[in-house]
A and B are shown apart, each in its own frame.
Chain A
Amino acid sequence: MKRLFGAPVTGYLPALVLALLTAGYLATAYGYSPDSRIMPVLVAWSMLVLLALDLASRTCTRLGQALTHWLNPAAARDEDGPRYPASQQVAAVLWLAGFATALLLIGVLYAVPLYIFASLLLRGRRSPLFSLVAAGGVTLIVWLLFALVLRLQLYPGLLFGGG
């Protein structure tokens, strides 16, 4: 784990990424009319200041420790929480992204059973029969509740005509 100013690099990432986003937000805001941009600009500049403080507070320098003590004391105490391998977290995100994409492309009625089945079988390591039954069960509940009772048009998916 690479360290910068005494703290692991990954600790700086959230604030850095946010700072980048805020800078882009600020640039866009300056393109709007004066009345329209007062609040966003104010908030964005404040954010940049706060993010700078956040970055500083994560370093192990004297300044960083002072900032943490006054503004974020809980951080000093929680640093030793359980750490889960990043690969597992990335996997969780990918599964979610996959499900969301499936919903978009092939629609609710196909994505739901596919996701449940694949999730239970591959991640949950349950038997194919159990996964199949669960997939069917959940799809049935979704259909009953949303399509029948709520009369909601279940999204058919971009590939099948949704728009």
Chain B
Amino acid sequence: MMHVWLSGIEGLLQLKELTFLALGMIIGLIFGAIPGIGGSTALALLMPLTYGLEPFTALALSGGVMGAVPMGGSITAILLNAPGTAPNAATCLDGYPLAQQGKAGLAIGAAASANSLGGIIGTISVLAVLPIAKELVLLFGPPEFFLLAILGLVVVATTSRGKMLRGLVTGGFGLMVAFIGYNDVVGDVRFTYGIEYLWDGVHLVPALIGLFAVAEMMNLMVKGGPVAKDAGTVKVTRMMSGVIETFRHPGTVLRGSIVGTVVGAIPGVGGVVASFLSYSLTVQASKDQESFGKGNIKGVIAPEAAINAKDGSALIPTLAFGIPGSAEMAVFLGILVLHGLQPGPLMLVQNQTEIYGLVWALTASCILASCIGLVLVRPLAMITLIESEVLAPVVICIALIGSYAIDGQIGNVVVSAVFGVLGCLMLRFDYPRLTVVVALVLGGMAERNFHQSMIMGDGSWLIFATRWVSGILLASIIILLGSPVLRALIRRIRKQTVVAAGAP
């Protein structure tokens, strides 16, 4: 096994491969930063370029892009509340408040190191798991996917205990929007009211751009002033302390990486769920829940670790069965096929060198991109000092065009604008946006897998309990739902024991 691992690195350490790796990394960094265009656009753009390259070089290029995109995305997420890619939306939640406090440098530093650490941990997990990848992927069927979706929704809903009721309301709203469009199970079209654009449903990324980027910029216009309230704090970038912060919270990093690795390996779920789940679990595990959403550095570390960990594990279903874990993976699949590498059970056996080379390329690119991010921290942090009257129109403009650029549909712009207004209203009336995003992503998955499970089980609900993986998931959901009650009970018992012990 070590032999194959090493041959992967060896293949990478050639000048040509390294050049393409670096090229991919720079492109990934830039594309990752711009909302709406991300890894999948970058890879699609580079596809014709790879036509004449050797397969291994093409893989180095792809790895370079995929490893760097998250870092680019987190920079704009922190500085402008504009997630460069969908998973970075979770970084906005605490990253942007930090920028507002003038601590953008700290946040970017932490994001950079969390990125690298998460990527490394993710890589190690993938390398360890790859030999049994096939069996692992086969463990998850419709009942498991349904329960996973419910678990995700429950985790996020119970996360902000302070705002649970309003969180549930926005979550419900997200679910309602998720049901718009063509329903693949029954074959009919719902809630489109005749609008052809809505046939494919409300697309996630335009909605995210609206909810986070547009809404925040509109809010900024009203509030006035630059993003950062205190210019003095910004000039002290605190970049290194940001980097060190990550190492001071190993639990958070580990938790984020593991969530990212596990969720990333499940096909079709994607990075958004990984990052939001990691964020929610970190909030739940914290003794200081109220501080999240206001600039808690752990709120940056957790999602960033998850995002990079998931990049490695998303390869598992992609390579083992040709089932892409995300849009980026789908394009990457195309590159593989173009080069005569047909993903499938055979690939795991026949093309091991290429696969390991790719994984190392991903890791290397992720670390390099973090370093570049760190180098650019000071000039980038200055963005938070630009007056809102100049910054807001420019960001709104680029965000809306980026939204259009996803697939050339002008309807995306309307979606972004509508969700921008919605986001503004949610900020004004204090409704959390976290649950909307997760509901949008998981709603369709929950419904589809529920129907499939019903057909599989001939209409009986027992199917969710009789398979051992779904049994575990079901138990987790029940524990999570009951945890506040459990915790109160445990506290009461402890108090009684103390009283009993204290009595003479």
Contacts and interface: CB of A to CB of B under 8 A. Distances in A.
A–B direct contact (CB < 8 Å): yes
Interface of A: 11, 13-15, 18, 22, 25, 28-29, 32-33, 35-36, 39-40, 43-44, 46-47, 50-51, 53-54, 57, 67, 71-75, 78, 81, 84, 88-89, 92-93, 95-97, 99-100, 103-104, 108, 112, 115-116, 119-120, 123-126, 134, 138, 141-142, 145-146, 149-150, 152-153, 155, 162
B166 A72 contact: yes
B420 A35 contact: no
A108 B404 contact: yes
B386 to A, nearest CB: 11
A99 B176 contact: no
B80 to A, nearest CB: 15
A14 B267 CA distance: 36
Contacts of B392: 119
A17 B413 CA distance: 24
Contacts of B397: 99, 112, 115-116, 138, 142
Contacts of B375: none
B389 A145 contact: no
B37 A120 contact: no
B417 interface: yes
Contacts of B428: 89
B389 A126 contact: yes
B161 interface: yes
Nearest to A116: B393
Nearest to A46: B172
Contacts, number: 164
| Interface magnitude class on chain B | 35 or more
Contact of B417 (A15, A100, A108, A125): A100
A27 B431 CA distance: 25
A89 B169 contact: no
A51 B169 contact: yes
A104 B410 contact: yes
Contacts of B378: none
A71 B168 CA distance: 10
A155 B190 contact: no
Given A18-B173, A72-B162, 7 more contacts: A13-B429, A15-B169, A39-B175, A57-B165, A96-B396, A116-B394, A155-B410
Contacts of A22: 176
A72 B425 CA distance: 18
Nearest to B393: A119
B163 interface: yes
A100 B162 contact: no
30 contacts: A15-B169, A25-B191, A35-B186, A35-B451, A36-B188, A39-B179, A43-B172, A46-B172, A47-B173, A47-B176, A51-B169, A53-B165, A72-B163, A72-B165, A73-B161, A74-B163, A96-B421, A97-B417, A99-B417, A100-B417, A103-B410, A108-B401, A108-B404, A116-B394, A124-B389, A141-B398, A145-B34, A150-B37, A152-B408, A155-B404
A11 B410 CA distance: 34
Interface string B391-430: 0111011101100110010100110010011001100111
A146 to B, nearest CB: 6
Given A36-B190, A93-B218, A99-B397, A50 B450 contact: no
A49 to B, nearest CB: 10
A15 B172 CA distance: 12
A35 B185 contact: yes
A145 to B, nearest CB: 7
B188 A43 contact: no
Nearest to A141: B398
B45 interface: yes
B246 interface: no
B487 interface: no
Contacts of B172: 43, 46-47, 50
Given A32-B190, A36-B190, A14 B431 contact: yes
A88 B428 CA distance: 13
Contacts of A46: 172
B221 interface: yes
B413 A104 contact: yes
Contacts of B290: 74
